[in-house]
Amino acid sequence: MSRKETYEAKAEELITPILTENGFELCDMEYVKEAGSWYLRAYIDKEGGITIEDCELVSRAFSDLLDQEDFIEESYILEVSSPGLLRPLKKDRDFQRKMGEELEIKTYAAVDGKKDFTGVLTAFDKDSITLQTEEGERTWKRSELALVRPYVEF
Number of domains in the chain: 2
Same-domain pairing of 102 and 48: no
Residue 66 maps to a domain: yes
Same-domain pairing of 96 and 123: yes
For 99, which DSSP code?
T
pLDDT digits (tens, 9 = 90+) for 51-70: 999 999 999 999 999 999 99
Q: Which of the listed residues 59, 81, 103 is the one where a domain comes to its end?
A: 81
Residues 131/119, Cβ–Cβ less than 8 Å: yes
Same-domain pairing of 35 and 96: no
Q: Which pLDDT value is given to residue 152?
A: 86
CATH number of the structural domain spanning residue 58: 3.30.300.70
Same-domain pairing of 55 and 19: yes
Q: Which pLDDT value is given to residue 154?
A: 75
Same-domain pairing of 107 and 73: no
pLDDT digits (tens, 9 = 90+) for 93-131: 889 888 999 999 999 999 889 999 999 999 999 999 999
Which among 145, 136, 47 has a CA at the least distance from the CA of 104? Answer: 145
Same-domain pairing of 76 and 116: no
Residue 97 maps to a domain: yes
Residue 86 maps to a domain: no
Contacting residues for 102 by C-beta, under 8 A, at least 6 apart: 118, 119, 120, 121, 150, 151
Judging by DSSP bridges, how do beta strands 37-45 and 25-34 pair with one another? antiparallel
Q: How far apart are CA 85 and CA 115, in angstroms?
A: 22
Reply yes or no on whether the pLDDT at 49 is more than 80.
Answer: yes
Same-domain pairing of 13 and 62: yes
Q: How far apart are CA 119 and CA 151, in angstroms?
A: 8
Residue 87 maps to a domain: no
Q: Which pLDDT value is given to residue 43?
A: 93
Average pLDDT over residues 38-57: 93
* Domain ranges, residue 140: 92-150
Average pLDDT over residues 29-39: 94
This prediction has a pTM of 0.73
Residues 98/121, Cβ–Cβ less than 8 Å: yes
pLDDT digits (tens, 9 = 90+) for 75-87: 999 999 998 878 8
